[in-house]
Structures are given as structure tokens and as C-alpha cells.
Structure 1
Amino acid sequence: MRVENLRCFKASRVSFADMLLRRIVRERWQIRMISAECDDDGAARFVYRIDAEGHSFSYIARAYPWDGIEKVGRRSDGADRDMFGALFVNLASQQRIQREFETFDIKAEGQMRTDSDVVGWTPANRSSRHFDAVVEALSRGEQPAPELGIAYLMRNGGFQSSGRNGTVSYPGIPEEHPLAHPFFADIFAIYLVRLVSIDLVNAVARRRNSDAAQLDIAIARGLGIGNSSGQGMCVALQRWPHWVATWVTVREAALGYAKSLPVEAGSIALVRSSIESTIRIYAQTDPQTQDYVAANETIIENLKRISASLREGQWHCWGDVAAHVAEVMDGETSEQFHSLLLDVVPDFCDAIAPYFQIGAGRKRQLQPAMRIGELREILRRNYVWALTADRTLAETHQHFWYHSIDNGEQRRGERIVDPHERFESFIDHIGLIQRLAAVLVSRDDNEHVGDVVLDHPDLHYAMSRVQYLDGLPYAEIRDPLAHRDFVPAELIRFFLASLGIRGSTPLSIRYVRGTFFQDQPLPSEILTPDRPSPQLRKHDNEVAL
């Protein structure tokens, strides 16, 4: 896949947040507040119990008094957060919960440690624009004014998990646990922060005025959790290329099937409904400020045109509509329409969803007995694009990534100019492949991969990468990420769309913000049998997998 295509991907029903939410609704997870303490300055302690698919586990949240300081929300903030939460693997005792609250109150990076009974911590920060405005309105007995355009009350500060601060590593989560699915723990933690943000404004308002209003459920449903992600996501995609292969393969398989179905009244109604929901999100999204992103207004207008053109009998199949959109509209509108098309085949999407776990479980392992001739053939078959890339000019590999101790995240440096090149994180896959090919030139076809590793230990990763990705479609990003002109935000947008972010807005070439779970069900709605949700009957041609 090329960056120019990946950057246009939009969240869909095969994004992780969407899949998790459908599972929560289908299996009727119960999320209940067990205890709550709150002061009028915003300090609070909440304890929740989750019952899901035969498992019960705890979540706790510790909010701190609002200090009036807008926090960036990066790892460099350390323990200086407006809220900390902990998601447990199982139910936690009162004594264990108290110990975790005491750990949060240390508020000193490097001194806060937990145990392996915790899946992860959920730091978060208040929105300086909206949190107080909502509390003040509720305290007056009113609902927040619609013109405020509130999309979220708190921002995600990352999910500190998988061994960090003493948390359990992901392989340590029991296989049968509902959070053992790739990214489900991360995404569910964000969903819980969303719940805390709503419960917190209600509690603070009630403390300030016993007659305060509580947030209307329709308004609460429209609130998500703000998120801002940086260029470290590019390193993650390069480190685990089978993720890209898995995510794109599932999406393209579902999209191909949706395109094959006829355009009929039932599917038209569903696509129009999905378009309307998507337009509402774009309308609430901050304006795009980067020239490499299509304006929200452009996509909204294009979606309206698409909706108006959908009439039974005008199009043979959805592939015809998609081809027309791709021909006359921009790439972002085209990919947004592709994402909406997946709503036409909900059963098919659910049927192939297990491949996410299968694909994520793929392991990179060196095959030392492989003949060099076979390895060379894999390079010719899969990496012509990398082998023929011109790296003569320095600009083709001008940048490098490194993990900054001071900032706690990946940063990008310029070779020669910046001093941290010796701490480089892997990003230059094209340079890696070309070095491997150059070394193999002098080796006999009948030699073994293990022989080369003994002479060149630094090529162990290159050879094992080429071997384990062989046969996987979409496994490599076919662009030079170390190039001077590469824009990290373009791949960040792809990653966030795969997670389920909607309405993403690049703040610069390095950071992208967006919102999780906006206009999605609340726990109280999940337990309501009559909660309306659009359904599409299975098409006569749709097969059960």
C-alpha cells in the first residue's frame, strides 16, 4: 500500500472501536458505578464494576481538582494529569482499590508502580473549553447550550499498559478474557474515560447545587473522548507490518463483497443513514488547517451529492457507485464512501472479524535453513519497489526517529544536524532491504540463511522480516518514511482510522487529533432492549461464512 492511499482511510465498522462497541451491545456488557465520592472542586473517586461474557472486573478513576492549567496530554506531562484510572484484569478488593488510589496520589513519574492484576492506567485531562462550561450550566439547572458545539469533556492521555509501570503484559491476559482481543483493552479503557467524564460533570454540578440538572442523555451520547496522537505511530506500523496487512486485508475483503451487491432500496436507506451520521461528525469537527487534507466542507458537500444520487435502478451494483465517486471526487471522499459501504454487509464484516486476531498473532521468526536462492526469489517477488528505489540523494533518507527520554515519546531528527542518530528507531525499511540485497549478491544460492546471519548478525531482522511477510498482501508501506518530504501525520491518520477515530484533524505534520465514541451508546442504553439501532436484512446473495 502507498501512503497516498492509506492516509485517506476512514473509520468503519471494521475499526477496533466499532467492533468492540458492537460486542459490548451484542453481549450486553454491564458497566455499573459501585461507589462515588466527589467534591465541588472536581476531586473525585469513582469505582465501577464490569460484567462481560462471564467475566467480572473493576475500573477505578481518580480525578483531581481543576488547576486551570491546560495540559498538552503528551507523555512528557508525566503524572501531571487531571485524572488517572486503572482497569483491572478481575474484580479488585476494597483494600486493593485503596492501594491503587494511594499510588495515583503520589503523582510522581518513576515512583508510581502497580501490579500485574492491572491491565493498564488511563490518564486523561479536562477540556479547558468545555468541562467548566458544562458544569456551570448544569449547576444552574440548565443543559449546555447547543452553540457550544461540545464534542468531548476530557482528552485521552494514553493507555499505560503491557508491562509499563508494572501492568500485565498483553500475552498475560487470559485468552478467554473479553479484553484479550487486539486493541480491545486500549479502546475499552477510552470508553470508560468517556463514562467518567460524564459522571464527573454530573457529580460536580450536584455537589455545587443539590438541585442541579444532570446531563441530558441525548447530549451525553453525542460526547466522545478527545485524542491527539503523534509520530510514534509511524514507528509502530514499521515495527509490526503484519498489523497493516491484517487491517487492510479485512477491510478490502469486506469492501470487495459490498461492491458486488446490487443497489436496492434497503441498502440505499442504510447508506443514506450512515452518510447523515457522518456528516454530523464532520460538521462538529474543527476546521482542517493543513493543505494536504480535504476540507470538512468539501467532504460534507460530496457526501450530500452521493446521497442525492442514490436511486434504485440508476446503478447496477455498489461498485459502480464507488467507481464513479473515485472518478469525480477527491480521494478522501472516496475512502469515506468506502467505509460507509461496509454498513451494507454487517454480517460479512462480523464473519471475517476473527482474522484480526489470527493476523495479529503472526510471529516473526528466522528460518535459518532456507536457501539463499529462495530468499533472493522472495526479494524479487515482493520487493522490486524497494530494490529499485533511488537513494542517491541524501533527501531520500534525511530523517530518523528516536525515542526521547525527556519527552517520553518518538521524535524525528535530521541526519548530520541532530545528535541522536545512534539511538535511531527502525523506520528505514527501504534501506534495510537494499543492504540485505547487496550482501546477498556475493552469496551462493545453495548457502543457507543461517550462514549469512553468522557473518552479518545485523541482518537477522531484515531476513526474518522478509520471510515472515512473504505471502501477506499489503504487508509493507511502499514509500520511504525517512524521506525529507514524508509527512508523519498521513500515516497517523491511517492508524487512528483503524482504531476508530472519526473527524481527525492534523494539528501539524506531526500530530493528529480526533474523537473516539462520539454519538455512540452509553452503558444505560446498552441494557435497554428497545434501544433503536439501524439494521439491514441480509441480502439474498450474502452467504454465511
Structure 2
Amino acid sequence: MTEHADMKDFSACALRPPEQVMRLARLGSLHQCRLSFMRQLTRRLASEGWRFSRAAFEVDASGVGHAVYTATGPERSYSLIAFAHDLPDHLRSDRVIAEAWDATFALFDGVPDRDDIARLSRNVPVQEAGRISESELSLSRANRSVRLWTHVVDRLATGQQPDPDVITEVGYLMRTTAVYGSGKFGAADREVIADRPEMAAPFQAEMLSVYLTRWFVRDMVEHMARVQGGENAVALDPALARRLGIGNSTGLGMAPFLVNHPMLVNNWILVRETALARVRALPSATASEIALFRDLLTRSANAVQRWRTEHPLQLARLADLRADLARVLPHVAEGLDADHPWDTLLAWAEGSLSLEGQELLVSLMLEPYGDIIDGLGPCMAAVEQAGFRIDGSMPLNQVKTMIEQQFPWALETDWTAPEATARAWYVSEEKLEPRLGQRHEEPIAPYEQPLAPGHDAALLHADLGDWPGDTPLAAFLLKHPEHRHSARRVQIAAKAPYGEIRDNTIGADMLPIDMLRAKLSFFGATSFDPRSDRWIRITMFAGAPYPPELTEDNADFWVYPEAGA
């Protein structure tokens, strides 16, 4: 991680070890927190006084056309260019292989002119089949939640507000099926924007795109209600509108991210753990800090009661979480004025609560302390090329020691057991997207991707065998080039210990949704709803003020619903 003033450790509390934090079950229990990328975005937009405008809304009565939404900050502007389409129901699909959508988007670096819009109108609606340029920072698409969309349009068209219970049940009018950035399909590479303060934290361009998309979706549903109802139509009540987020359907394509970006993931987790250590080290808490914590805890309990899912695993986790909250609420009614209250509270939680409850409590413990935490946000980025070069001069005895330190669980695993290698990751020929197959049932082993670092580290350790310990790694790799990727990961893990999942990513009991949720929690997603063990639906920006309403007073705790809101 790059050196940063806010990363200097001034705490007396040790960080939780990677062996505890980087287990899949815990990663799959993470919740959003004040370091989540959505909340970093809204805080900055508000504190810097960004201005927002709808520069164009040229959509016809059939719901076809384009709109432009611009965010203007201290130094530059960014514009969402949205294209609305009249999509037949039979073409609406959340699958990555879909070829048509209800709406498509590009985040433009600056303010587009007519030529830019014309160029993008030929490319953005076809997504992968088109081509964007370095003037664009992201490419995305979204589909309607047909049931809620129809309900809201019908109600608004007749002068009525939608049913709040229906809004709570669904949570979004549109859901994205992909938000591409960082050079994909011709978009600007990350390096183009990495030095801009507003883009220093990860995924800020993508989060801005989704935030502006939510504004467009509200405008679209009100437009279609006016088309249908004419003078009888009314606007969506602002309180109900704020409850609506942008949905997202995320599948296996995102799961390998945590394996393929060890330095970046290390920084995400390390920053969160550093923030937690700072809070745990505090010798006391003020009355206002305790009051805020208790208020957000109560509001979190409200959010958990609204959380809907049909997946058996998440239903069981939700039951545990609700039981945890029933224990936590009376436990923290008193006692937070004790010595080192947050360290004491976490110790109690680790012995009393499920992983869901522990990690929700961790998120809540950070909330009162933006003054010692928020400056860590830019440290969550990473220059991953810095770890790409292998140190070939390293002696093999040091390599073996590093494997034994970083991958002890892998060395203890019986890799000859069929269940230990039951899965294999590969890339589909049709869409070049990650897939997960059954190794012992399908002929996919020849196409396997290197997404099992523990297994590969164990193979490297075994092949080091009786090689003399003072042999340089380069000499070994000349004889065994198949271990280059594993040797690189072992060296990265020594510098970035939170970058490695401490579990078997090809085992029979591995749940890809744990990897999906871990990444999405850092985005700031809520309402995790697994639809199988390998794809999940979530909601983004639910509860957030819309851009024209954004102020410093409402820019942060919007993620915790007020009672009745």
C-alpha cells in the first residue's frame, strides 16, 4: 500500500489477523460501512459543493430517447448520457448474454456536445457490440423491475402514490446488469483518472454513474406516468422516491475479482481493519458518539426487518442476524461509558454473535468516528503492477517459509480428496465470462483458470522438494515455469496479507456468493438477496438523497432508514 499520513498506526489495538478476517464465511457476511465507495462519493460531492443539472431530456411518448445529467465540481464536470429504449418483454433479460435493455448509459468525462451524443447513440445501446472512447469512463445498462415499474406508473398516472409496501418489497425501479469501466470496450483506463482527487478512492466513476442513473430512472417513471395520465398525473412523493435504489444483478463474472486483485483487496480490507483498530483503541466514548451509535443500531434493526430474500442460506443468516440484534440492543443500552468500550463490545460480540452480527456491529462501531477514519478512503486504491515483477533472487528456503506462513491451511488440505478439487473455474467461449464447473463430471480441466491460489501454493511447496535452500527462485522457475503465477502470489501475499482468501476456492462446499457479497459490501450495497449459490441481487443508493437534494446534512447516514421512512 502506498504511504499515506492517515495510515500511520497510532492505535494500541492489533488488527484482526488475516486468518480470521479472510475466511469466505466472514467475507460473505460483510456489510456496508462509512468507507463504502457510495458513501465516500456522496460525502465528497456534498462537502465540495458539487452542482447538478439535467442538460437534456429528449424522450418521446413511447419512452425512447436520451437524457444528459451533469455533475460539476471544483475542477471538472462529468455527465451521464442515458439512452431510453422501448424493449419488448420477451427480450428483457438480466443475463450477460442479453443484447437489448430498457436503458443504456455512458459516463462522459466533461460535458458532451451533439456530436458526442450522436457518436454514443450508435455505440452505447449495443453495449459490447459497440465501441466507446477515452472520453467515456464507464458503460452500463439497466432493465426495469416490470412489476414495480407498472405499479408506480399506473398509480402516478391516476394521481395516486404507489403502495409503500410494494416499494419496500422490491426496492428499485431498474436494476443494472453491468457497469463497465477501467478501459473495458474502449473506455478510459484507470490511470487516466487515478490522480484526480474525486476519483482517488476505488470505483468512484462507476458509483457516480449509478447515482446519476437513479435520478434518470425517477425522471423516466414520472415521464411515463404523464404520458399515460396527462393532467391527472402526479410526481413521485420525495420520501417514497428516496426509498428506491438502483438494483443490480451480479453473477459469477464478479466472483474471481477477489482472487485476481490481491493488492487491491488487501488495501480494502486493511483500511477497514485499520479503521476498526483505531476505534477499538479509543479509551472512552463521548455521549454524542454513543448516542449516534445507538441511533444507527436501531435504524439498522429497521433495515434488517425490511430485508427480503427467498434463498435458504440468506434466510438462515437473516434469522441469526435478527436474533443477534435482539441481544445487542439491550446489551448496549448501558455500559458504553466503560473503559475501552468498543474493544470490549467487539470481544463480547465475537463470543456471542453470528458472523453476520459481528460484522454488522463492526460497521456500526466505525460510524461515529469519521474524523479518524474518512481520510483512509484514498488508501483503498492500489497500483497492482507494483506486485507483478517476481523477485527471482529470493532463495528457495525463503519462498518455502513464506508459503508456510501465508498458506498453512492449504498445506494441511488433502488435495487428493475429490471434494477438495470438485470445482474448476473457466472462461466461456461465447461471452468470455468466468464460469464454474464440476471438475469430476465435466471435461473442463484443460480450460481451467488459475483461481485456486491455495491449491497452487501447495503444489509449488511440494515441487520445491529437495531443492537446495539457497537456490535462487529464478533457477527453479526456469525448470518449473508453471509455478510463475504462484511464486508471484506468494511474494505479493508477504506484502499484502489481506489479499488472499484463506479458504479453498475450488472445494465442493465453496459458495461464490460469499465472494460476490464481499466486493459488493465495499461498494455500499444493501439488501443482499442470493438467487442461487452463484448470483445475487442487491440495491444501491436506497435511501440516498437525489443529486439536487444533496447537502452535507444528508450526505452520509442515508443508508440507515429512519423509522417509518
Same fold (TM over 0.5): yes
1:410 corresponds in structure 2 to 434
- Is the 1:81–1:124 contact (alpha carbons within 8 Å) kept by the matching residues of 2? yes
Counterparts in 2 of 1:275 and 1:408: CA distance versus 1, 3 Å: farther
1:319 corresponds in structure 2 to 343
By how many angstroms is 1:518 displaced?
0.7
Counterparts in 2 of 1:358 and 1:122: CA distance versus 1, 3 Å: closer
Q: What SS does the corresponding residue of 1:474 show, helix, strand or coil?
A: helix
2:214 corresponds in structure 1 to 194
Task: Determine if the alignment matches structure 1 residue 15 to structure 2 residue 36.
Answer: yes
2:246 corresponds in structure 1 to 225
By how many angstroms is 1:408 displaced?
4.8
Q: What SS does the corresponding residue of 1:319 show, helix, strand or coil?
A: helix
1:51-450 aligned at under 5 Å gives the runs 51-69=72-90, 71-77=92-98, 79-105=99-125, 107=126, 111-150=129-168, 151-173=171-193, 175-176=195-196, 178-179=198-199, 181-208=201-228, 209-261=230-282, 262-291=284-313, 294-296=316-318, 298-313=320-335, 316=338, 317-358=341-382, 362-450=386-474
Partner Cα separation in structure 1 for residue 28 and residue 218 of structure 2: 32
Alignment gaps of 5+ in structure 2: 1-21, 559-565
Partner Cα separation in structure 2 for residue 337 and residue 100 of structure 1: 45
Q: 1:416-440: per-residue Cα shift (whole Å, max 9, x none)?
A: 4223332222211122112211222
Partner Cα separation in structure 2 for residue 385 and residue 153 of structure 1: 44
TM-score normalised by the chain length of structure 1: 0.91
From the two aligned structures, give the one with the greater helix fraction: 2
Q: What SS does the corresponding residue of 1:37 show, helix, strand or coil?
A: strand
- Is the 1:270–1:534 contact (alpha carbons within 8 Å) kept by the matching residues of 2? no
Superposition RMSD in Å: 2.4
Alignment gaps of 5+ in structure 1: 536-545
2:9 corresponds in structure 1 to none
Q: 1:196-250: per-residue Cα shift (whole Å, max 9, x none)?
A: 1111112222233144211122111111111121223331111112233212211
Counterparts in 2 of 1:241 and 1:305: CA distance versus 1, 3 Å: same
Q: What SS does the corresponding residue of 2:174 show, helix, strand or coil?
A: strand
By how many angstroms is 1:156 displaced?
1.1
Task: Determine if the alignment matches structure 1 residue 43 to structure 2 residue 61.
Answer: no
Counterparts in 2 of 1:177 and 1:80: CA distance versus 1, 3 Å: farther
Give the aligned residue type for 1:113: R
By how many angstroms is 1:147 displaced?
2.3
Q: What SS does the corresponding residue of 2:542 show, helix, strand or coil?
A: coil
- Is the 1:265–1:312 contact (alpha carbons within 8 Å) kept by the matching residues of 2? no
By how many angstroms is 1:516 displaced?
0.7
By how many angstroms is 1:361 displaced?
7.0
- % identity of equivalent residues: 29
Q: Tell me the number of residue pairs that the alignment of Structure 1 and Structure 2 aligns.
A: 531
- Is the 1:87–1:189 contact (alpha carbons within 8 Å) kept by the matching residues of 2? yes
Q: What SS does the corresponding residue of 2:147 show, helix, strand or coil?
A: coil
1:542 corresponds in structure 2 to none
- Is the 1:365–1:468 contact (alpha carbons within 8 Å) kept by the matching residues of 2? no
- Is the 1:139–1:206 contact (alpha carbons within 8 Å) kept by the matching residues of 2? yes
1:481-492 aligned at under 5 Å gives the runs 481-492=505-516
Counterparts in 2 of 1:69 and 1:308: CA distance versus 1, 3 Å: farther
Counterparts in 2 of 1:169 and 1:206: CA distance versus 1, 3 Å: same
Counterparts in 2 of 1:144 and 1:44: CA distance versus 1, 3 Å: farther
By how many angstroms is 1:370 displaced?
1.9
Pick from 485, 502, 507 the counterpart of residue 526 of structure 2: 502
Partner Cα separation in structure 1 for residue 176 and residue 215 of structure 2: 12
Partner Cα separation in structure 2 for residue 476 and residue 532 of structure 1: 33
1:455 corresponds in structure 2 to 479
Q: What SS does the corresponding residue of 2:451 show, helix, strand or coil?
A: coil
Q: 1:182-207: per-residue Cα shift (whole Å, max 9, x none)?
A: 21122222212211111111222223
By how many angstroms is 1:128 displaced?
1.1
Pick from 50, 53, 77 the counterpart of residue 32 of structure 1: 53
Partner Cα separation in structure 2 for residue 523 and residue 39 of structure 1: 24
